Chain A
């Protein structure tokens, strides 16, 4: 079974600084997707960024970028120029690319605090 691990339960960053959130996963599949979701205090789950395993290029969305290391099964999220609105729970998630269940498998999450 696939598992996703977020080993840091909490992190803090100063406004305008850069922070990196770590995630590792375990799978025997060769094709899959990885995601970072943000959950602010409103509890809404918001997709931040996605990465297809077959793509070598790391995904980027504005201030958010990932470092995808397939061999190491590592998928970290870098937030640049942190803003107060970035404060939230962040969840790393895995999903198979085809065949079987299309469910998302989530890590335990990490609480990010942004200090002014």
Chain B
């Protein structure tokens, strides 16, 4: 157990819908990273927050957004869902900016 929690574990929804994925980092960790794992794209970095501020963006679609709250948990919002958004979404956390990243168990999103 890495200490990073993600909810829900599984999510099944329909095209056009909106969902929110939640991540609680390890106690004391200020950085939260979101990654997407899909069959065709592999593991890709989406976005990084550090102590509430957006630090870096990767190949994140405009339909996706994220935020990190004062208690340091983070949410990834996916809207106008398409079939191709079906993937495993990982959250990872680290103490600072250049420390080891610990991964959560992931949220499996299925868009039907």
Residues of A near any B CB (own CB < 8 A): 42-47, 50, 91, 97-98, 100-109
* Bound-state Cα–Cα, A18 to B88, Å: 31
> Which of chain A's residues have a CB closer than 8 A to the CB of B2?
44
> Which of chain B's residues have a CB closer than 8 A to the CB of A101?
45, 48, 55-56, 58
Specify which of B88, B90, B98, B108 is in contact with A102 (CB 8 Å cutoff).
B98
Nearest 8 Cβ contacts at the A-B interface: A45-B103, A103-B45, A101-B56, A106-B43, A108-B42, A102-B97, A43-B106, A44-B105
> Which of chain B's residues have a CB closer than 8 A to the CB of A43?
88, 105-106, 108
Interface string of B86-111 (1 = CB under 8 A from A): 00101010100110111101101000
Closest CB in chain A relative to B56 CB, distance in Å: 4
Residues of chain B from 20 to 76 with CB closer than 8 A to chain A in the complex: 31, 33, 35, 42-45, 48, 55-56, 58
Q: 23 A-B contacts, Cβ less than 8 Å apart?
A: A42-B105, A43-B88, A43-B105, A43-B106, A44-B103, A44-B105, A44-B106, A45-B90, A45-B103, A45-B106, A46-B103, A47-B102, A50-B100, A91-B43, A101-B56, A102-B48, A102-B97, A104-B45, A104-B92, A104-B101, A106-B42, A106-B43, A107-B42
> Which of chain A's residues have a CB closer than 8 A to the CB of B108?
43
* Bound-state Cα–Cα, A44 to B2, Å: 9
Which one of B42, B44, B55 has the highest number of Cβ atoms from chain A below 10 Å of its Cβ?
B42
Closest CB in chain B relative to A10 CB, distance in Å: 15
